[in-house]
Amino acid sequence: MEIHNLMEDLVVETVNELFDAGAKGSSGGWCTCKQCRMDVACFVLNRVKPEYVLSSRGVAYSETDYGEKLQRGADIACLVKEGWAQINAAPRPNHARLYGDECQDVPAGPVFNIRPIMGRLFNGATFEPIVDSKVSLISESGLVKMMDSNWTNPYPLAKNTNGTFTFWPFPVSSVEVGERRRFAFTVSASPDGFEELSHYVELEVVSEATAVCQFSLQAVHRLQDLYVFAK
Ligand SMILES: [Zn+2]
Query: Are 184 and 119 members of one domain?
Result: yes
Instruction: Give 95 Cα–ligand 1 centroid separation in angstroms.
Output: 7
- Report the separation in Å between the CA atom of 152 and the middle of ligand 1, taken as the mean of its atom positions: 12
21, 55, 89 — which closes off a domain?
89
In a domain, 98, yes or no: no
Residues 115, 219: contact at Cβ < 8 Å?
Answer: yes
Average pLDDT of the residues in 137-142? 96
Quickly state the pLDDT bin for 2 (edges 50, 70, 90): confident
Cβ atoms of 59 and 53 within 8 Å: the answer is yes
pLDDT of residue 60: 45
Q: How confident is the model at residue 212 (pLDDT cuts 50, 70, 90)?
A: confident
* Domain match, 69 and 158 both: no
**Which residues does residue 181 pair with via DSSP β-bridges, in sequence order?**
205
142 vs 164 pLDDT, higher one:
142
Reduced to 3 states (helix: H, G, I; strand: E, B; else coil), residue 189 is strand
**103 alpha carbon – ligand 1 mean position (Å):** 15
Same domain, 77 and 123: no
Predicted confidence (pLDDT) at residue 68 exceeds the cutoff of 90: no
- Considering the domain architecture, whether residues 135 and 52 belong to the same structural domain is answered as no
Do the domain assignments include residue 141?
yes
Pairwise CA distance, residues 199 & 110, whole Å: 29
Beta-sheet pairing, 117-123 with 226-228 = parallel
Rounded to the nearest angstrom, the distance between the alpha carbon of 101 and the centre of ligand 1 is 14
Q: Give me the pLDDT at residue 59, please.
A: 43
**What would the pLDDT profile of 55-67 be if each residue is shown by its tens digit?**
554 444 444 566 6
> Does position 124 have pLDDT exceeding 90, yes or no?
yes
pLDDT at position 183: 97
Predicted local confidence at residue 97, as pLDDT: 57
b/e sequence 193-210, b meaning 16+ C-beta within 10 Å: ebeebebebeeebebbee
Q: By the 8 A CB rule, do 221 and 115 touch?
A: yes
Report the alpha-carbon distance of residue 40 to residue 79 in Å, rounded. Answer: 9
- Domain final residue pick, 89, 124, 146: 89
What's the structural domain count of the chain? 2
Enclosing domain of residue 53: 3-89
138 and 32 share one domain: no
| 176, part of any domain | yes
**In the chain, pLDDT over 90 holds for what percent of residues?**
45
Integer Cα distance of 155 and 21 in angstroms: 28
User: pTM to 2 decimals?
Assistant: 0.65
